[in-house]
Each structure stands twice: as C-alpha cells, then as structure tokens.
Amino acid sequence: MSGRAGLLAFWTGLAAMAAAFLLFDSGLDFNYIIPRRLAKLAAMVIGGIAVGLSSIVFQTLAGNRVLTPAVMGYEAVYLLLQSLLVLMLGTSSLVLLGDYGNFLVSILLMLAYSLAVHRWLFSDRQADIGYPLLIGLVLTLIIGTFTQFVQLRISPGEFAIFQGFALVSFDRVEWGRILWSGGLVAAVCVAGRPSLPVLDVLALGRDQAVSLGVDHHRHVRFLLALVAVLVAVSTSLIGPTAFMGIFVANLAYACARSGRHRLTLPLGCAIAVGMFLAAQLAVEHVFNYRTTVGILINLVCGAWFLALTLRFRDIA
C-alpha cells in the first residue's frame, strides 16, 4: 500500500516540478517566456522518454544492469558522424541534408553500429558482466579521439556549430525538431507496444526465452533497431547523456520493486524527465547558468555509477 502512496507522491512531485519550471518567475508572460519554456519542457519529456525506454530495453536485451547504449558508444558514433558531415560538406551539410536527411543518415548509421555491437554483446560468452562494459568504455574513448581529430580539421566557425551538438542542452530546441522527434518516439512506442510481454520473457535470459517459445534472435534484432532510433532521437534533440541511462534504469527497478516492463518502463521515463527538470531548475535558479545540465547530470550520475560498480555483487 505504501508503494502506491509513494508512486502517487512521485507523480505529484513531477507535476509540481513541471509547473514550477513553467511558471516560476515568468511574470505569467504568455507571449514569450511561457511558450519558450513549454518548448523546453516538451524536449525534456521527449528526451526523457527516449533515454528511459532505450536504457531499460537495452539492459534487458544485454542481460546486464550496468550497460546502456550511451556507454556502449552509440552517442560517440553519432557525434563522430556529425563532425564528419561538417568536415566533408561544411556548414552546408546542415542545409543540404536538412534536418530529415541528416537524421535519416544518423539512424542508418546507428542501426549498422547496433548490428555490430549485437554480434559482440550477444556472442556466446556471457560469463563476465564487466567485459562488455570495459569494451564499451574504451570504444567510447577511441571514437571520441577520432571525433577530436576530425574537429582539428574543421574551421573554428564550423567547430562552434558542432559544439552545439556535443553538450546536453535544452536551449536550442525549436518546435519543428520537437514535433518530428516526438512523432518518431510515438512511432517507436506504437511499434514496440506488442513486444512488451516478450520483453519480460527476454529478461529471463536467452535459453529460458527460447525454451518458452520466443524467437529470440528476431525479437532482439527488432528491439535493438528501436533502441537505435531512440538513441538517435535523444542525442540529436538534447545531446549525449552518458551515464544517465544507468542511473535512470536502476532507480526505476528499485522504485518499481519489480522487473515487469509494464511498470519499469513508464517509471524509468518519468524518472528521466524528472532528472532533466531538476537539473534545469538547478541550472536556472540555483547556479544562475554558471554550469550546464550536462555537467550536473554527469557529476551526479557518474558518482552514483561509481558507487554502483563498487557494490557489484549485489547487482550481478
């Protein structure tokens, strides 16, 4: 019963934070301030849903609670692609491809990367839980180095444009992006909805799932493709979120006290939105823009992830 009350308190708190974000110090200015804040809020909700869904689904598929797409280098690949595009086509890449073209290319690349990771992650050896994690971290480092190398070659003006992609921020969102990002996330949700019960079975592990009559290979591929789309959406909309997904997913498992995806998925999305809201509120009103959402989230989630790996036996 207390669990239900806790959930109620959680949702009320979330709504209160959203209201505070919209109205605090706004002077009820419905012409500029509140529409701007609504756009930011929409970006947070879409980004939060994308981060929450992709992290939890990826963890279930990998059977590993310390992995997320971000840690496995998905976001690093996205940033490398963006810097390569700017290098090869110049700023005109933004015009030439348009939002849609750029996004289509990104999604295709993410899908390809997903397939490559898939081969590695789900090879027969699942003995050591830390192994894919170490590979992911090192891969992220290496891809980051190549991105920096490409950045050396692009001109300072173009570099400034690229920098915009590389930091988590809600300040550059516009309604056009929000609309099609929201549309894509909605499409992914609709497409993934029938797989919800299958996810619970997949969480039991490959052998169990197969013996229960699930076409493991087909489902994993399909869901990984959805994850790739979600990561592309969240990275292009709000920037790389690094360790946030791990934090969100594990908090969701703890709060739901259950592994059922019907419970954990919405909770994870809500927690991610709540984190974005809290960080943005802190940046605007506590730190007075002397820090960024990305830095705050990295600091908190990184420290928490460190603590999590120290108690590794509990989650392994």
Partner 1 sequence: MSRAGLPLLFAALCVVSLTVGVNRLSLAQLASFSDAAWLTLTASRLPRLAALVLTGVGLAVCGVILQHVVRNRFVEPATTGGLEAAKLGILISLSVSPAGGAAVRMALALAFCLVASLVYVAIIARLRLRNTILVPVIGLMYGSVLGALAEFYAYGRNMLQSMQGWLLGDFSKIVQGNYEIVWLILPVVGAAYLFAHRFTVLGMGSDMATSLGISYRAMVTLGLLLVSTTVAATVVAVGAIPFVGLVVPNVVALRQGDNLARTLPSVALGGASLVLACDILGRLLIYPFEVPIGLTMGGIGGLLFLLLIVRSGR
Burial bucket for residue 7 (CB in 10 Å: 0-12, 13-18, 19+): middle
Is the Cβ of residue 49 or residue 283 nearer to partner 1 in the bound state? 283
- Collect all residues with Cβ–Cβ distance below 8 Å to 10 and sequence separation of at least 6: 255, 270
DSSP designation for 123: S
Q: What's the min distance (Å) between Cβ of 269 and partner 1? A: 24
Q: Is 298 in the site for partner 1 (CB under 8 A)?
A: yes
Q: Whose structure tokens read 């997904």? A: 245
The reply on whether position 23 binds partner 1 by CB under 8 A is no
Asked if residues 261 and 194 have their Cβ atoms less than 8 Å apart, the reply is: no
CA torsion sign, 83 to 186 to 209 to 249? positive
Position among 128, 155, 215, 286 found at the interface with partner 1 (CB under 8 A): 128
Near partner 1 by CB under 8 A, which window of 208-216, 231-239, 248-256, 298-306?
298-306
The answer to whether the beta carbons of residues 114 and 228 sit under 8 Å apart is: yes
For 305, other C-beta atoms within 10 Å of its C-beta total 19
Number of amino acids touching partner 1 (CB under 8 A)? 39
Verify binding: residue 287, partner 1, rule CB under 8 A. Answer: yes
Beta carbon of residue 295, minimum distance to partner 1 (angstroms, whole number): 5
Q: Does residue number 315 form part of the binding site for partner 1 (CB under 8 A)? A: no
Cα–Cα distance list, 282 to 52, 171, 228 (Å): 21, 15, 30
**Considering the rule CB under 8 A, would residue 126 count as an interface residue with partner 1?**
no
Q: What would the x/- binding string for partner 1 be over residues 141 to 180, using CB under 8 A?
A: xx-xxx-xx--xx---------------------------
In whole angstroms, what is the distance from residue 247 CA to residue 305 CA?
7
User: What letter represents residue 128's amino acid?
Assistant: D
Does residue 108 contact residue 175 with C-beta atoms inside 8 Å? no
Element at 26 (helix H, strand E): none
Please, what is the minimum distance in Å from the beta carbon of residue 107 to partner 1?
26
Q: Which stretch binds partner 1 (CB under 8 A): 90-98, 131-139, 186-194, 269-277?
A: 131-139
Q: How far apart are CA 84 and CA 245, in angstroms?
A: 26
Q: Nearer to partner 1 by C-beta: 31 or 123?
A: 123
Residue 135 is a binding residue for partner 1 (CB under 8 A): yes
Under the criterion CB under 8 A, does residue 208 sit at the interface with partner 1? no
Selected from 10, 131, 180, 222, the binder of partner 1 by CB under 8 A is 131
Binding site for partner 1 (CB under 8 A): 125, 128, 130-131, 133-135, 137-139, 141-142, 144-146, 148-149, 152-153, 242-243, 287, 290-292, 295-296, 298-299, 302-303, 305-306, 309-313, 316
